[in-house]
Amino acid sequence: MTSSSTTIGSSGTTVSTLSTDTMSTNGTSTTGTSASDLQATFLKLLVTQLQNQDPTSPVDSSQMTTQLAQINTVSGISQLNTTLTSLASQLTAEQQTQSANLVGSTVLTPGSSVTVSNGAITPFGVTLTGAASDVQVSVKNSAGQVVNTIDLGKESAGTVPVNWTPVDASGNTLANGTYTISATATGTGTSAAPTTLTGATVQGVMPQSSGSPNVLLSNGSTINLSSVAAIL
């Protein structure tokens, strides 16, 4: 650290004053940016300042206390950030481990395509943003014709799995093939917007840098784990 001499008082006493354009003490560089480095730098500069202060104008003790408190605050925030980062990493690893248990499970995710095969239909359902006095699900064939309408009646907000035997309006079993579902709802006081859900089997889990893993489904799609509405 560089210094210059200043003459004070009538006796001509000479003291050294510090230069503010350097961040080194005793030939040791203190250019670190971490909280501990900044704290060490501050203490070194403080000691040097006290050693070279003007006897007729000493350092204000209240300012020194304030500066020390500020340094301690910065150090505490840095330690807190380190702890939170470690905790986030642990939670991410735990979530990815738990999501691996979904492999082989059937889940409901947003979708509108269902498949009928030998009198059975792939699982499906709806998600309601609010309570509804009546919910209806329309089933259309590949030509866009409504083959049946399922009346679910009154439903609460949330995910509603639908158990339904695939038949047309006359009660005849639907032919094998792919069908499209859509839903409407009459809200109690306000309109409830339903989202249709279709079922698929989880075939794999792929960790993501964001922390929330993606799941590979048997229907060929890949979605984020957060989009899974239900596990059947």
Nearest to 132 by CA among 83, 78, 190: 190
Quick one: how far is CA 149 from the chain centroid?
39
Share of the chain above pLDDT 90, in %: 42
| Helix 35-51 vs helix 61-99: crossing angle, to nearest 10 | 170
Confidence of residue 137 (pLDDT cuts 50, 70, 90): very high
Return the CATH number at 112.
Answer: 2.60.40.4070
Together in a domain, 79 and 46: yes
225 token code pair: 């784990």
- Domain termination site, one of 30, 65, 98: 98
Together in a domain, 142 and 193: yes
pLDDT tens for 165-219 read 999 999 999 999 999 999 999 875 555 579 999 999 999 988 777 767 889 999 8
Q: How many domains does the chain have?
A: 2
Residue 31, pLDDT above cutoff 60: no
Distance in Å from the first CA to the final CA of the chain? 70
DSSP for 104-139, written as a single string: T-EEEEE--EEEEETTEE--EEEEESS-EEEEEEEE
Q: Where are the alpha helices (DSSP H) in the chain?
A: 35-51, 61-99
Together in a domain, 70 and 132: no
Long-range contacts of 24-30 (CB under 8 A, 24+ apart): 25/1, 26/1
pLDDT at 147: 97
Cα separation, 54 vs 14, in Å, equals 9
Q: Which residue has the tokens 């080194």?
A: 24
Nearest to 212 by CA among 224, 223, 221, 220: 224
Confidence of residue 17 (pLDDT cuts 50, 70, 90): very low
Structural domain boundaries enclosing 39: 3-98
78 token code pair: 């840095």
- Domain termination site, one of 98, 122, 150: 98
φ, ψ of residue 28 to 5 degrees: the values are -100, 125
- Domain termination site, one of 31, 66, 98: 98
Together in a domain, 111 and 43: no
Which residues contact residue 217 at a Cβ distance below 8 angstroms, ignoring those fewer than 6 apart?
107, 109, 200, 201, 202, 203, 223
Together in a domain, 28 and 142: no
Together in a domain, 186 and 144: yes
Residue 111, pLDDT above cutoff 80: yes
Together in a domain, 77 and 47: yes
Together in a domain, 154 and 44: no
Please tell me what DSSP assigns to residue 173.
B
- Is the dihedral angle over the CA atoms 203, 127, 225, 222 positive or is it negative? positive
Q: What is the mean pLDDT of residues 59-85?
A: 72
Together in a domain, 206 and 224: yes
Together in a domain, 78 and 110: no
Together in a domain, 164 and 194: yes
Residue 143, pLDDT above cutoff 90: yes
pLDDT tens for 115-125 read 999 999 999 99
Together in a domain, 173 and 146: yes
Q: Which helix (H) or strand (E) holds 181?
A: strand 177-187
